[in-house]
Amino acid sequence: MPSSIVCQNLCFDYEYDDEAPVEVLKNVSVEIKEGEFVALVGKNGCGKSTLAKHFNAILLPKSGRVLIDGMDTTDEDSVIKIREKVGLVLQNPDNQIVATIVEEDVAFGPENLGIPPLEIRERVDWALKAVGMYEFRESAPHKLSGGQKQRVAVASVIAMRPKFIILDEPTAMLDPRGRSEVMDCITSLNKDYGLSIVLITHNMDEAALADRIIAMEDGRIVMDAPPDEVFTHIEAIRALGLDVPPVTQLAFDLRKNGIDMPQDILHVNQCVRAVLRHLQPVEGGADIFGNDKY
């Protein structure tokens, strides 16, 4: 049976001592299947991180249920199994690295699971290779760049051999290079290793890489569709306080100005092709696309 994360009518509020509790998740129902690459988007404070923490029993529902492979997160006996299946990577890589040596940190999770030493070694080497950090295995974490640290954090989670990895804004604190390093690593884990990904992000270019986008507003799921469908509703996305990828915006603006552009443009190369269709090839001019005929 394929693995899945299922939320049924999930409600949650943070308790405050002096004030009335504020509802953060309101009747959320969603299912994430094995192998999917899901992007979770929404304005600041709409409850994305709160939802993510329900997926591996860090937070427990007020009402409703969260089931991981059929195991209820409120069942104390299955918490460890659930966390083994669903790994969570946080925003700040500095705060989630435990050990003073990269490979020791990656070993931390498997060590907690009580796995025999030789198998831990195998898993650590595999995880570090999967994120491209194998040659840094003996480095001290504080000597790595932000993107490298975040990849170590990812390796530390996949060393537990999870089915799902939840990443809560993993690129928010990184420079453009670190971002693309981490995004390449995430997409490769999904495509080459078959891991399911839930990526929380504010960056729509990153969200466009997913197979499915879930948009949240004020504790509710308001949109759940593949990226090409989601980004055709540009006004609706705007209304949620979100952006669309810049190329999608460009195509939209061109369309508004009467230039015929397809609705499902998400990536730069698609946009370039669409624009080139409108340009007349000049006799003897440079052929931009090499052998490609337009």
Partner 1 sequence: MDITFGQYYPSKSPVHRLDPRVKLIFVLVYIVTIFLGTSFVGLGLCTAFLITAVIISRLPVRLFAKAIKPILPIIIFTAIINLFYAGGDPLFYIFSIAVTKQGVLTSLLVVVRIILLIAGSSMLTFTTTPTSLTDGLERLLSPLTVFRLKVHELAMMMTIALRFIPTLTEETDKIMNAQKARGADIDSGGLFKRVKALVPVFIPLLVSSFRRAFDLAVAMECRCYTGGEGRTRMKIFKLRCADYLALGIMIVLLASVIVINFVLGLV
| Contact positions vs partner 1 (CB under 8 A) | 53, 56, 58, 80, 83-84, 87-88, 90, 92, 94-101, 103-104, 107-117, 120-121, 124, 140-142, 153, 156-157, 160
44 is an interface residue for ligand ATP by CB under 6 A? yes
95 is an interface residue for ligand ATP by CB under 6 A? no
- With CB cut-offs between 5 and 8 Å by kind, which of ligand ATP, partner 1, Mg ion, none does residue 111 bind? partner 1
Instruction: Tell which one of 47, 110, 178, 227 touches ligand ATP (CB under 6 A).
Output: 47
Q: How far apart are CA 173 and CA 195, in angstroms?
A: 24
- With CB cut-offs between 5 and 8 Å by kind, which of ligand ATP, partner 1, Mg ion, none does residue 50 bind? ligand ATP
Neighbours of 21 (CB within 10 A): 11
24 is an interface residue for ligand ATP by CB under 6 A? yes
Residue with the two structure tokens 């959320």 = 28
Q: Would you say 2 or 114 has its CB closer to partner 1? A: 114
* 47's tokens: 């409850």
Q: Residue 13 phi/psi, 5° resolution? A: -140, 150
Q: Residue 212 in 3-state DSSP?
A: strand
Residues numbered 206 to 235 that lie near ligand ATP (CB under 6 A) are: none
Instruction: Tell which one of 32, 36, 37, 42 touches ligand ATP (CB under 6 A).
Output: 42
Residues numbered 43 to 72 that lie near Mg ion (CB under 5 A) are: 49
Residue 24: name the closest of 243, 174, 163, 220 by CA. 220
Instruction: Tell which one of 5, 38, 39, 46 touches ligand ATP (CB under 6 A).
Output: 46
CA distances for 65 relative to 27, 75, 128, 196, 288, angstroms: 10, 11, 35, 21, 55
148 is an interface residue for Mg ion by CB under 5 A? no
Size of the site for ligand ATP (CB under 6 A): 10
CA distances for 91 relative to 117, 146, 169, angstroms: 30, 11, 5
Number of Cα atoms under 13 Å in the Cβ half of residue 16: 7
Q: Would you say 14 or 193 has its CB closer to ligand ATP? A: 14
- What residue is closest to ligand ATP based on CB? 49
Q: How far apart are CA 222 and CA 1, in angstroms?
A: 29
| Region at 213 (left for phi over 0; alpha for psi -120 to 50; beta for the rest) | beta
Helix then strand count (H, E) for the chain reads 11, 10
* 261's tokens: 């552009």
Determine the interface stretch with Mg ion among 41-49, 92-100, 106-114, 239-247 (rule: CB under 5 A). 41-49
193 is an interface residue for ligand ATP by CB under 6 A? no
> Residue 166 Cβ, how far from Mg ion at the closest point, in Å?
11
Q: Would you say 149 or 212 has its CB closer to partner 1? A: 149
Using CB under 6 A, list all residues that contact ligand ATP.
14, 24, 42, 44-50
